[in-house]
Amino acid sequence: MRPSNEAILVIDVQNDFCPGGALAVEGGDQIVGPINALVPEFAVRVFTQDWHPVDHSSFASQHEGYDAFSMIEMPYGPQVLWPDHCRIGSEGAAFHRVLDVRAADMIIRKGFRREIDSYSAFFENDHETPTGLEGYLRTRGVDTITMVGLATDFCVNFSAVDAAKLGFKVSVVESLCRAIDLDGSLAAARTGMSDAGVKLV
């Protein structure tokens, strides 16, 4: 068992991000078994779940004339337009069936506000609206976080950088993550995480 000040953050291991899903990450299902094996080592265990209304503003279907994976400018900055995914209550939004969700102390749902996307487990994409996760971890006495999940270059990346900015010691286990790699986004994410002080292991 790791020390009580260490938490594991399991990010978005959901059906829509696994093979066959609406926004599938290649090999996304391959990390589930090893994550199940790692989670019990930690005293504090938090899982995140992408959780969008059907008309979420990050969906390409809500923007006439725009295709999935194109960019649009939102009030909070540039936004990738995604295929409809992780709609509230849908099978796609459910955790992968092999993931042992019983191990979670807490599940953080993000992206439920229609007008703003939320990659990070800590903040919406305006980088200001908190999810409440920081407060939970602080009250549990956590100062060190290990992150795993999907996808390396988006939700894992944003969560890791935000956690580091908040003063947590952060490690990302790259073998237990998989990336979308949109136009070089994986390389950019790895550089950004390293620059923020995140340890890539």
49 Cβ contact partners less than 8 Å away, ≥ 6 residues apart: 12, 14, 86, 93, 95, 107, 108, 109, 110
Whole-number Cα distances in Å, 182 to 28, 151, 171, 172: 15, 11, 23, 19
Active site residue 162: no
Residue 144's φ and ψ, nearest 5 degrees, are -135, 130
The residues, ordered by sequence, that sit 6+ positions from 39 with a Cβ below 8 Å of its Cβ are 8, 10, 45, 100, 103
Q: Is 177 labeled as catalytic in the residue annotation?
A: no
**Residue 199 annotated as catalytic:** no
Catalytic residue, candidates 18, 84, 86, 110: 110
**Strand blocks (E) in 28-120:** 44-50, 71-74, 77-80, 106-110
Q: Which entry of 18, 155, 162, 177 is annotated as an active-site residue?
A: 155
Strand partners, 78: 73
Catalytically annotated residues: 12, 110, 155
